[in-house]
Amino acid sequence: MAASQSPVEPLLEAEKQIAWVLAHPGMSDWLKDALRTAVDRDPEHLLNDLEILCLLLRAKSQAAIDERLR
C-alpha cells in the first residue's frame, strides 16, 4: 500500500471492481453468484475457500484441456 493511501481506499477499489463485474452483461452468472454470496463471508475463511477452489478447479480444467489435446 502506498504511504499516502488510506486503508479504506483498497477496499473501496475492490468493491468498485466487484460492482463492475456484477453489472457487466458478459460475465457469467456463476461468477456473479459467487461474488454475491461472498459479500458477507469472513475474509479469512473466504481466502481459504478461494485457495481450495482455485487448486481444485485449476487441476480439473487442466486435466480436461490435456485430455482434449491428446
For the cut 80, the answer to whether the pLDDT of residue 67 exceeds it is yes
Distance of alpha carbon 51 from alpha carbon 37, whole angstroms: 16
Distance of CA 19 to the CA centre of its chain: 12
pTM for this prediction: 0.77
What is residue 2's predicted lDDT score, i.e. its pLDDT? 56
Whether 63 and 56 have beta carbons less than 8 Å apart is answered as no
Domain ranges of the chain: 8-39, 42-70
- Single-letter code of the amino acid located at 27: M
What is residue 8's predicted lDDT score, i.e. its pLDDT? 83
* Three-state DSSP state, 28: coil
Per-residue pLDDT tens digits for 1-51: 556 778 789 999 999 999 999 999 999 999 999 999 998 999 999 999 999
C-alpha cell at 55: 487448486
What is residue 5's predicted lDDT score, i.e. its pLDDT? 73
* Three-state DSSP state, 54: helix
